[in-house]
Each structure stands twice: as C-alpha cells, then as structure tokens.
C-alpha cells in the first residue's frame, strides 16, 4: 500500500475512515477495563475478608491506588519510545492489550495477594505500550488531512468516555452486587475481545503504525527545528537517571511500607522516606531550572509558562483523582443510596435511559462499521459483535435485577453491656451477635432493625444470613455464607456471619451502587463537551491561565458541595446517610473543571515549545499528572484520620480551599503568563 493516507478515506463511517472506528472500539474496551477495575479497587481492598476483600484501611488502600494510578502515566513514556524506535505502534498496541488482559486475569484471583500485585504490575506495563500509541496511529492517519484531525480526536474521545461509562457501570455493579472477582474478570474479558478485534483488523491501517524507518534527514530536521539546540550534558543525563530512580523507588516503596512493613528506605529503625523523596524533588528542580536557563529568552519564557501550568495540573489531579478514592469511600459509607417509592422509580427509569440510549448509539456506529469492513475483516467484526452481545445481555440482566429487588427489614441479634469511657464513666454499648460471638453473662440481649436491598425471594419470618461491612449490611446466600466462614477461618478470624429474621418486606426500593456515581463524569463530559468546544472557538475564548484558574475553581466548588453536604456528620462517624445530590453536584463541577483544563493542556504544550522538544515536554507533562495521582492517594488516605480528629466536612474543605486559592492566583497571574507565552493563544 502507498504511504499516502488518501486510501483510508475510500471507506467511510460517519464521514471518517473505517480505521478510525477500529481504534474507537479498541480504545473503548481498554478504557472499559481500566475504569471498571479502578471503580472497585479501593472498595475491594477495604471490604471484609468474609466477602473476599482484604480488610485494609483507607490509608493502605489509597497508597496502593495512588501508586497504581501514578505509574500508569509514567510507563507510556517508555512505551512510546520503544514503539517509536523499534516495534511500531500497531505491535505496541497489541502487546499492551495482551499484557493488560493477563493483568485482569490475575486480578480476578483476588483472594491471592501475589496474583493481585502481579495483575496490577501487568496492567501498569501493558498500559505503557497501549496508551501513547493509539493516538500516534490517529496522528499518522490524518497527516495528509489536518482539517479532519479535530473531528477525529473528538470521535476518539467519545470512545474513551463510552468505555469509562460502561466499565464503571457494569464492572462496578457486578463487583459490588455479585463478587469482586467477577468485576475484575469482566474487565479482562473485554480487554481481550478489544485486542482480538484490533489484531484481526490491523491490515486496515496499511503501513501506518508499522516498525518505523527513520532517515538521517528526518533526524536533522527534528534536531534543529525552529530554535537553538540545547543538548543534554553528562550531568543532565546523570541527574535524569537519579531522579527517575528516586521517584520510582519511592512510589513503589510507599504502599509496601504501609501494607507489609517491608520499608527498604528504613535504616536503623528510622524511616527516611520523606528525606529521600525531598532529595529527589530538589535534584529534579535543579535539573529543570538549569536546562531552562540555557534556552534563548523566548523559549525559556514559554517553558516557564508550562511549568506554571504543570504546578496547577499537579494540584488539579491530586484533587480530581479523589473520584476513585475518598469520594468512592464517601459514596459507600456516608451516602444514603437506598431509593424508595417514587424516587426508586425515577432512578430506575433514569438509569435505564442513560444506559440504553448511549449503548444504542454506539451499537448503531458498530452496525455502520460492519457495513464497511465485514467483508474484509470478518473475524475482527465477529469478536467485536460478540462483545456487544455480551454487553447487551449484562445490561438487561442488571435492569431485570433492579426491577425485581426488594427491601428487607431484618431483625438482627445484639447485646448491650456497660463499658468504661475515656472520661472514666460507664455507658451502654451495643454489639452485634455473630455466629462466633460469645455473649457476656452480664449482657442484655435484644434485636435491632437493619435494611438491605436484594432480588432474593424471601418471606416474613424467614431466617437470613448477613455480613456487616463498614456499617452496611450485605445479604449472604448459603454458598457465600460458607465461603465467608472458610475465608475468615483461613485468616484465623472468627466467623462474621450474622443470622437474622425477616421482619418486613418493602417493595419498590432500589439501592444505588457506590461505584455508580463514577459514571456521572463521563455522562457530563458527553453532555457539556460540545458546549465548551463552541466556547473555545468563539470570540469569548479565555486565555490559558484563565482556563486553568476556572478549572481549579470549579473543582474546588465541587468539593465545597461535599463539605456542605457532610457538615452534619459528627466527628469520628463511620456511617451516615447524606443525600446523593451532593455527590451529583460534586461530579458535575469536577467535570466542568476538567473540561476547562484537561483537553487544552497538551494543545498548549504543542504550541509553546519547538517541535523537537514536544516529546520531552509531553513526558514531563505525564510526570506532572503522575505526581498528582500519587499525591491524590496520599491525601485521600488521610480521610479516616482527619474525620476522626476533626470531621468529614473538614477533610473536603481542604480540597475546596487549596484549588480555589490556586485557581484565583492563576487568574491573577494571567498578564504575567501572557507575556511569558509571547503571543501564543
């Protein structure tokens, strides 16, 4: 095939090459797997051993979460380099998808910690090969048609959000309602099907994305394009290696030091983690500043502007990534998620509509792709079609399950005994009576009412088995009850099974999953992205610093809603039933903030630096996002500590004040940043 990309436009789907939609669906299933796994990771880690969780604290869980989400932004730097120089984009995508499939398969065996850590490692490595090279293929496809590139990336971005939407909804639902292993496994199934559909359709791209053949002329053009070359000195290279080593070892050591007491930065009983990372930060700043000072004035100023944006980016992602951490904990432990009466009907109908309509639109796109490519790539289309048959089956099962759910009011046995307080007084304290509980002789036995929503067929007076997880009660069928006893026995813990009796059955009630709220981000992006796009193209298009400032302020307002909503929760409370409206508002404002900042970030980098430096600056940008993700885990892990000492409202106020303050500062610095950008808009 010719190197010209004109032939791509001979077979079109919705005005674009069919190959774009092969990438669309491949990326959709990868995002399905990533966000589906991310939605349930923290809940799984903090859940009870009795339902195959690990019983970790929020500090331990979010330390691992932060390390995972930060490393997935670092490995693309290496994966992109290897694809550029050696293996090509198509092979990198296939290799990355296969490695991630193995990662999800490992995580499906969640009861084995070795397989879980192996799975997370494989996902990090696979993502490094996959993430940067999908967009590289699009860039090459449209190199002769730049006027269509914006539309192509918009379509591709919709695939990203469609995958995130479906992944959070379905993996989250199955993980919470059925079993964690099924949620992790489902993510792997669709990653595998996405890989197969890409592999069997890869010839549609012709030579685009094959192993690169770089000529001397190409290298010279890149080396001296538009500005004086600033070579890396020996000291620069040494500092780069040292900073990378310090950063990676600290990020990896952090969760292991908190989880397994295997801190390799501890010497003589003293933990030097803080001093170690501080040295790394100082060396990195020295490297960055020394290189910037060696550039010509205009380039130097523009790079200073990028650094200002990078600082804002770190703050933004440190707060925004609470979505998979502390905000998920808030949804699970502190939000009233049982809808009754007309509100249950409203939720069920709304949930059906926001599931069926987007899935129907994507299925229509799939049908159009079939029309153009089934004859040439039947296997690819069969695997892709099979994935949608499975998706529709799961969606109808989920809807039917919710429609047939009942709310059970259950009497569970408790005992009350007098215990001493810290003030030296005594008070009555209530304890659950589980199968393994030995009730003190001086205790008073009684029962208390608890509620749970399940599609189980039970009658008033029936015996029912439950398990209490962080203040919530979950139904156990006979098989799950047996497994709960086995798991806790293996861990040398008493049986957590509670035996109660059905007191009352209430119809027309449904429980919203804690992970469900994560879909709001993708939903709001799909709704508001076209409006923001028109705003950026109008005469009212704000400056870069103003966009960043607005993004941070909107992010802070979202956390302000959570702070206000949780203001009535007393310090140290482990459960509450705050209205879901506060989470909905938080996700709305967070998404509006993301639309101000995230899509335009890489665009400004490409405009502010010479062409030969774009790859380097993209790498630095990924590092900034990685730092933000790790900070998110560290800050989110303090939710229990701050809530116990102060209040949950105080915890969210921190995430309100910091980004709003930085956002206002960014807007105030707008004149300075404009001068540094030297006319770039």
Write down the pLDDT at residue 150: 66
Find the Cα–Cα–Cα–Cα dihedral 510, 359, 72, 302, rounded to 10°: -120
Write down the pLDDT at residue 8: 56
Cβ partners under 8 Å of residue 391, min gap 6 = 166, 170, 190, 359
**Bridging pattern class, strands 444-454 and 338-340:** unpaired
* 376-391: pLDDT as tens digits: 899 999 999 999 999 9
Give SS3 for 651.
helix
The length of the chain is 681
Whether residue 135 is predicted with pLDDT greater than 90 in this model: the reply is: no
Token pair belonging to 382: 């069969």
Whether residue 60 is predicted with pLDDT greater than 60 in this model: the reply is: yes
Whether residue 221 is predicted with pLDDT greater than 70 in this model: the reply is: no
Section 274-287 average pLDDT: 90
Section 393-400 average pLDDT: 94
Cβ partners under 8 Å of residue 555, min gap 6 = 316, 319, 320, 589, 590, 593, 594, 659, 663
Side-chain-side CA neighbours of residue 128 (13 Å): 17
Section 470-485 average pLDDT: 89
* 411-447: pLDDT as tens digits: 999 999 988 877 778 888 899 999 999 999 889 999 9
What DSSP string runs through 465-501? Answer: EEEEETTEEEEE-HHHHHHHHHHHHHTT-----EEEE
Whether residue 252 is predicted with pLDDT greater than 60 in this model: the reply is: yes
Write down the pLDDT at residue 224: 37
Whether residue 552 is predicted with pLDDT greater than 50 in this model: the reply is: yes
Whether residue 9 is predicted with pLDDT greater than 60 in this model: the reply is: no
Whether residue 145 is predicted with pLDDT greater than 60 in this model: the reply is: yes
Write down the pLDDT at residue 220: 40
Contact, 66 vs 632, CB < 8 A?
Answer: yes
What residue has token string 């069997």?
200
Write down the pLDDT at residue 615: 62
Of 74-78, 572-576, 647-651, minimum mean pLDDT range: 572-576
Write down the pLDDT at residue 599: 67
If one compares 533 and 469, the residue with the highest pLDDT of the two is 469
CA distance 94 to 83: 11
CA distance 480 to 498: 12
Q: Closest Cα to residue 152, out of 163, 164, 162, 140?
A: 140
Contact, 38 vs 70, CB < 8 A?
Answer: no
Cβ partners under 8 Å of residue 649, min gap 6 = 563, 564, 566, 567, 569
What DSSP string runs through 336-347? Answer: --EEEHHHHHHH
Cβ partners under 8 Å of residue 489, min gap 6 = 495
Consecutive H or E run containing 411: strand 406-420
Write down the pLDDT at residue 543: 87
pLDDT band at residue 222, thresholds of 50, 70 and 90?
very low
Give SS3 for 459.
coil
Write down the pLDDT at residue 1: 39
Sign of CA dihedral 77, 79, 85, 88: negative
What DSSP string runs through 197-255? Answer: HHHHHGGGGTTTTSS----HHHHHHHHTSSS---PPPHHHHHHHHHHHHHHHHHHHHHH
Q: Where are the beta strands (DSSP E) in 606-680?
A: none
Section 143-170 average pLDDT: 82
Section 136-145 average pLDDT: 78
Q: Which CATH architecture has domain 1-213?
A: Up-down Bundle (1.20)
pTM reported for the whole predicted model: 0.89
Contact, 31 vs 519, CB < 8 A?
Answer: no
Give SS3 for 262.
coil
* 648-668: pLDDT as tens digits: 999 999 999 999 999 999 999
What residue has token string 């030091």?
257
Write down the pLDDT at residue 229: 62
Bridge partners of residue 504, in order along the sequence: 409
Write down the pLDDT at residue 426: 83
Write down the pLDDT at residue 2: 42
Q: Closest Cα to residue 273, out of 263, 284, 265?
A: 265
Section 561-589 average pLDDT: 90
Give SS3 for 634.
helix
Section 489-506 average pLDDT: 92
What mean pLDDT, rounded, does the chain reach? 87
Token pair belonging to 450: 């608890």
Q: What does the longest C-alpha to C-alpha distance in the chain come to?
A: 89
Consecutive H or E run containing 12: strand 12-13
Whether residue 490 is predicted with pLDDT greater than 70 in this model: the reply is: yes
Contact, 63 vs 112, CB < 8 A?
Answer: no
Query: Alpha carbon 424 to chain centroid distance?
Result: 46
Bridge partners of residue 467, in order along the sequence: 474
* 281-334: pLDDT as tens digits: 899 889 888 888 888 888 888 888 888 888 898 999 999 999 989 999 999 999
Per residue, what are the HEC states of 22-83?
HHHHHHHHHHHHHHHHHHHHHHHHHCCHHHCCCCCCHHHHHHHHHHHHHHCCCHHHHHHHHH
Residue 405 φ then ψ, to 5°: -80, 145
With 0-12 / 13-18 / 19 or more C-beta atoms within 10 angstroms meaning exposed / middle / buried, residue 549 is buried
Find the Cα–Cα–Cα–Cα dihedral 250, 252, 254, 256, rounded to 10°: -140
First to last CA, the chain: 39
Bridge partners of residue 499, in order along the sequence: 465
Contact, 446 vs 392, CB < 8 A?
Answer: no
Cβ partners under 8 Å of residue 288, min gap 6 = 307
Give SS3 for 461.
coil
pLDDT band at residue 228, thresholds of 50, 70 and 90?
low
CA distance 584 to 544: 28
Q: What is the CATH number of domain 296-337+512-681?
A: 1.20.1250.20
Residue 315 φ then ψ, to 5°: -65, -45
pLDDT band at residue 94, thresholds of 50, 70 and 90?
very high
Whether residue 225 is predicted with pLDDT greater than 60 in this model: the reply is: no
Q: Please work out, in degrees rounded to the nearest 5, the angle formed at the alpha carbon of residue 150 by the alpha carbons of 145 and 156.
A: 105
Whether residue 4 is predicted with pLDDT greater than 70 in this model: the reply is: no
CA distance 128 to 111: 26
A 10 A CB-CB count for 318 gives 24
Cα dist from 43 to 371, 375, 454, whole Å: 42, 44, 19
pLDDT band at residue 219, thresholds of 50, 70 and 90?
very low
Contact, 264 vs 311, CB < 8 A?
Answer: no
What residue has token string 């904990």?
329
Section 47-65 average pLDDT: 90
CA distance 133 to 95: 11
Rg (CA), the chain: 27
């Amino acid at each position: 095939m010719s190197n010209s990309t004109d032939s791509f436009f001979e077979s079109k789907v919705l005005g674009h090459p069919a190959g774009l939609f092969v990438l669309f669906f491949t990326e959709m299933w990868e995002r399905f797997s990533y966000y589906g796994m991310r939605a349930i990771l923290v809940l799984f880690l903090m859940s009870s051993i009795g339902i195959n969780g690990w019983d970790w604290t929020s500090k331990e869980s979010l330390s691992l979460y932060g390390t995972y989400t930060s490393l997935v932004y670092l490995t693309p730097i290496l994966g992109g380099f290897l694809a550029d120089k050696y293996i090509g984009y198509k092979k990198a995508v296939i290799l990355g998808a296969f490695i991630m499939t193995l990662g999800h398969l490992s995580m499906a065996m969640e009861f084995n910690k070795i397989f879980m850590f192996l799975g997370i490692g494989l996902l990090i490595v696979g993502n490094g090969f996959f993430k940067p090279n999908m967009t590289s293929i699009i860039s090459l496809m449209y190199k002769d048609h730049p006027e269509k590139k914006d539309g192509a990336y918009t379509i591709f971005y919709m695939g990203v959000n469609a995958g995130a939407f479906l992944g959070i909804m379905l993996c989250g639902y199955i993980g919470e309602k059925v079993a964690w292993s099924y949620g992790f496994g489902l993510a792997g199934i669709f990653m595998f099907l996405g890989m197969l559909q890409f592999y069997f359709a890869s010839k549609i791209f012709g030579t685009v994305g094959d192993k690169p053949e770089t000529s001397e002329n190409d290298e010279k053009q890149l080396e001296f394009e538009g500005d004086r070359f600033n070579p890396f000195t020996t000291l620069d290279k040494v500092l780069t290696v040292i900073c990378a080593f310090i950063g990676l070892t600290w990020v990896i050591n952090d969760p292991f030091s908190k989880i397994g007491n295997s801190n390799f930065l501890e010497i003589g009983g003293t933990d030097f983690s803080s001093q170690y990372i501080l040295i790394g930060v100082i060396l990195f700043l020295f490297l960055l500043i020394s290189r910037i000072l060696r550039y010509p004035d205009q380039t130097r100023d523009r790079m200073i502007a990028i650094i200002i944006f990078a600082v804002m980016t770190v703050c933004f992602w440190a707060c925004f990534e609470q979505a998979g951490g502390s905000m998920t904990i808030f949804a699970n432990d502190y939000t009233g998620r049982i809808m009754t009466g007309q509100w249950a009907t409203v939720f069920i109908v709304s949930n059906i509509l926001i599931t069926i309509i987007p899935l129907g639109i994507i299925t229509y796109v799939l049908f159009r792709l079939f029309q153009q490519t089934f004859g040439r790539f039947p296997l690819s289309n069969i695997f892709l079609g099979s994935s949608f048959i499975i998706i529709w089956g799961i969606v109808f099962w989920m809807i039917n399950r919710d429609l047939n759910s009942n709310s059970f009011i259950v009497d569970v046995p408790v005992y009350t005994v007098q215990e001493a307080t810290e003030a030296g007084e005594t008070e009555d304290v209530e304890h659950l009576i589980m199968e393994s509980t030995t009730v003190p002789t001086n205790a008073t036995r009684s029962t208390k009412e608890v509620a749970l929503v399940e599609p189980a067929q039970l009658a008033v007076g029936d015996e029912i088995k439950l398990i209490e997880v962080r203040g919530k009660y979950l139904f156990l069928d006979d098989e799950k009850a047996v497994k709960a006893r086995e798991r806790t026995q293996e861990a040398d813990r008493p049986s957590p099974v509670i035996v109660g009796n059905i007191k009352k059955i209430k119809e027309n009630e449904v429980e919203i999953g804690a992970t469900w709220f994560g879909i709001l981000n993708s939903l709001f992006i799909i709704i508001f992205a076209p409006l923001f796009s028109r705003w950026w193209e109008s005469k009212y298009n704000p400056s870069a610093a103003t966009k960043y400032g607005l993004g941070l302020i909107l992010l802070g307002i979202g956390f302000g809603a959570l702070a206000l909503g949780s203001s009535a929760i007393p310090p140290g409370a482990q459960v509450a039933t705050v209205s879901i409206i506060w989470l909905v508002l938080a996700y709305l404002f967070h998404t509006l903030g993301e639309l101000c900042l995230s899509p335009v970030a890489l665009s400004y980098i490409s405009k502010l630096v010479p062409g030969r430096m774009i790859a380097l600056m993209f790498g630095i940008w990924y590092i900034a996002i990685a730092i933000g993700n790790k900070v998110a885990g560290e800050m989110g892990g303090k939710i229990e500590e701050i809530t116990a000492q102060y209040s949950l409202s105080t915890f969210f106020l921190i995430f309100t004040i910091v980004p709003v303050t930085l956002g206002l500062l960014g807007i105030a610095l707008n004149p300075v940043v404009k001068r540094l950008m030297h006319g770039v808009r």
